[in-house]
Amino acid sequence: MTMKPLRVAVLGIGWWSDVLADACKRSDLFDIATCFTRSPDKRAAFAAKYGCAQAESYDAILKDSSIEAIINTTPNNIHLETTREAAAAGKHVFLDKPIANTVAEGLEIARVCAKAGVVLALGYQRRRESHFRWIKAEIDAGRFGKLVQAEGNISRDRLGKIDLSSWRYQAAGMPGGVMLQIGIHYVDVLEFLMGPVKRVSGMSNRLVLPGDNPDVANLILEHENGAISNLTASYASASEYYMMNIYGKEASAYYDPFNGLRHLKRGETKATPVKTETNDAIREELDEFVHCIRNGGKPETGGEWASRNLAVIKAGVRSAREGRAIDVADVLAGEE
């Protein structure tokens, strides 16, 4: 049976709103009906590109009963305000990560959506990449044995490529710098594969980029199962690079974009390449959002999960500031 396309409004127009809108266009489950941002020029350009209307205000979107959901790419510090209003209007919300700038606000976002009975999904597309899905399936099948360690790196070159007036690169708008903005993707992947993190040690610095926010950061993550992960994030590297190595007692897996996915079983001396098809991870997370609305169910990355990921980052920020390991439970309890 053909599923009725979800009629959505895009709120907050920037480069990532276009990425999400492009993914909506690759799907047959979306109807981009309208958009709103405070800049008339950005609003007009988006409307022309995607063939949608321009709303005069966010309030006009909320009052439009034909709009079923909001795709929200506004700055982190207004996620709570904009999502609370959407939930009160009965509109589902697809929210770009991170869920908020504080754990308290993240948990409140989750609460108001649950109370209103609307679906809240967070944009964590990295976990959906086919190489990570393959590793997850092997872990769940027991073929990795006891998980013991992981290494992750997510790096980009941003020197000369950033707008210092953007909230994304300022401490006020993105407290935690590079680790909050892109490192949180791999916090999600590590908790997805290795299990919840209970304690964090962090270090960060600003080495290359101008401004007031860290451009390099490192987290040592102790998982609840005892495994230890190391995660690095950088905006100061020579090029774009991603890496994830997962170590179990019976098998290990290694991924990077240049060499693809490799797999090594205990007793073997050479890793074997694993062929995985490139998948449309962003479209898949958006399609899941629609399926949850139409058919029930919960998104893989909802509000409580996203608040937990945020708590890991905030624990790292606090650890870097105080020079000691921080329990994630303390951050979730309000000690940021």
Domain ranges in the chain are 6-125+283-302, 127-279+310-332
Identify which of 155, 136, 184, 149 has the alpha carbon closest to the alpha carbon of residue 256.
Answer: 155
Task: Tell which phi-psi region holds residue 323, choosing left (phi > 0), alpha (psi between -120 and 50) or beta.
Answer: left
Q: Give tens-digit pLDDT for 47-82.
A: 999 999 999 999 999 999 999 999 999 999 999 999
H runs (alpha helix) in the chain: 15-26, 40-50, 58-63, 79-88, 103-116, 130-140, 178, 184-194, 281-295, 303-322, 328-332
Q: Give tens-digit pLDDT for 120-148.
A: 999 999 999 999 999 999 999 999 999 99
The CATH topology of domain 127-279+310-332 is Dihydrodipicolinate Reductase; domain 2 (3.30.360)
Q: Give tens-digit pLDDT for 283-293.
A: 999 999 999 99
Its pTM stands at 0.95
Q: Report CA torsion sign: 129, 131, 133, 135.
A: negative
Which class would CATH give 6-125+283-302? alpha beta
- Whether the per-residue pLDDT at 4 is higher than 80: the answer is yes
Bridge-based pairing state of the strands 260-265 and 251-256: antiparallel
User: Tell me, what's the pLDDT at 165?
Assistant: 73
If one compares 175 and 262, the residue with the highest pLDDT of the two is 262
User: Tell me, what's the pLDDT at 175?
Assistant: 81
Q: What is the mean pLDDT of residues 316-326?
A: 96
User: Tell me, what's the pLDDT at 289?
Assistant: 98
Q: What is the mean pLDDT of residues 106-116?
A: 98
Collect all residues with Cβ–Cβ distance below 8 Å to 262 and sequence separation of at least 6: 253, 254, 255, 271, 272, 273, 274
Calculate the average pLDDT of the chain.
Answer: 95
- Distance in angstroms (rounded) separating the CA atoms of residues 49 and 65: 24
Residue written as tokens 């007009």? 44
User: Tell me, what's the pLDDT at 160?
Assistant: 62
- Whether the per-residue pLDDT at 26 is higher than 70: the answer is yes
- Residue 183 is given by DSSP the state I
Q: What is the mean pLDDT of residues 28-37?
A: 98
User: Tell me, what's the pLDDT at 1?
Assistant: 62
Identify which of 74, 59, 85 has the alpha carbon closest to the alpha carbon of residue 20.
Answer: 74
